């Protein structure tokens, strides 16, 4: 079962590469840098004449994917909205797959600290391209989504807001959020790889993990949200229900509430859900609420 799921994830990533690689590679700067003794790389896009101190969005691929396999629509949004975009590349694990170290059982001997790599990458881009010191945002799908949860737990002050797509909270993660953080999750209820209902017995091979509603509840509690508002997005294919948990603490003194948004994609699969909603725009609209 685990091998089947890993294969499906890789197939999905290869399909994504075919769709997006040309646009990202053609428009972006390919950056290589040493970190923790190994060469790391990313694709970076900065719109022409972007003002100094502009926001930066980091976008993480899934397991077996790569930097070029991500949605290129963020580049179009960057031109329109005025921010920079970075697509980092995960290092290879013992299965020769690009990945992020989030604590899967098969990563037990994988010693790379990807939290540190992303923090160092952000610092480099801020200094090299004169980007904002505060308005840094993180999104990622699947394995990249797990990194979103890990950052929210381990290093919440690195980012102003975080958006996970089809991500999981592994039970091996500490599941304690030391600092409020605006957070959103997009997740299909028919996701066969990252199950909506969770996997307490590790049947899928990713390690045991929480159901999506339970995982989100930890963030709702940390942010001290007081109530939920439910919206239905305009229907494109599957129904999408947006659960907004509101009434939370201020993001900064006098700033907006720290909210948690859960997009429940009814019968949705393991994807960015772009057939069901304008996911990238929804992510950016959430992020820009927290530009300081």
CA distance linking residue 141 with residue 195, whole number of Å: 14
Burial class of residue 43 (count of CB atoms within 10 Å of its CB; 0-12, 13-18, 19+) = buried
CA-to-CA dists, residue 74 to 60, 142, 287, angstroms: 12, 18, 12
**Whether the model pTM is above 0.85:** yes
What tokens does 47 get?
Answer: 């719109």
Q: Are strands 240-246 and 260-265 parallel, antiparallel or unpaired?
A: antiparallel
Which residues of the chain are under the pLDDT cut of 50?
1-21
CA distance linking residue 27 with residue 40, whole number of Å: 19
pLDDT at 85: 98
pLDDT at 17: 34
What's the fold here for domain 2-288? Rossmann fold (3.40.50)
pLDDT at 117: 98
């Amino acid at each position: 079962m685990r091998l089947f799921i890993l294969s499906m994830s890789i197939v999905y990533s290869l399909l994504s590469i075919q769709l997006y690689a040309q646009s990202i590679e053609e428009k972006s700067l390919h950056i290589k840098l040493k970190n923790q003794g190994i060469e790391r790389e990313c694709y970076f896009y900065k719109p022409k004449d972007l003002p100094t101190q502009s926001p930066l969005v980091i976008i993480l691929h899934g397991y077996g994917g790569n930097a070029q396999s991500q949605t290129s629509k963020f580049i179009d949004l960057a031109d329109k909205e005025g921010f920079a975009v970075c697509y980092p590349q995960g290092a290879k694990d013992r299965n020769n797959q690009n990945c992020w170290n989030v604590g899967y059982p098969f990563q037990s001997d994988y010693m790379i600290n990807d939290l540190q790599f992303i923090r160092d990458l952000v610092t480099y881009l801020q200094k090299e391209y004169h980007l904002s010191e505060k308005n840094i945002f993180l999104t990622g799908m699947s394995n990249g989504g797990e990194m979103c949860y890990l950052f929210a737990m381990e290093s919440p002050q690195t980012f102003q807001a975080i958006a996970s797509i089809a991500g999981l909270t592994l039970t091996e993660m500490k599941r304690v959020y030391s600092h409020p953080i605006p957070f959103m999750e997009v997740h299909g209820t028919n996701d066969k790889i990252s199950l909506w209902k969770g996997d307490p017995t590790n049947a899928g091979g990713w390690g045991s993990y929480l159901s999506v509603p339970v995982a989100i509840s930890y963030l709702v509690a940390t942010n001290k949200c007081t109530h939920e508002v439910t919206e239905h997005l305009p229907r494109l294919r599957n129904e999408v229900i947006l659960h907004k948990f509101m009434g939370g603490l201020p993001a900064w003194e006098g700033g907006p509430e720290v909210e948690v948004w859960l997009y429940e994609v009814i019968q949705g699969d393991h994807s960015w859900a772009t057939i069901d909603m304008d996911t990238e725009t929804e992510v950016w609209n959430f992020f820009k609420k927290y530009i300081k």
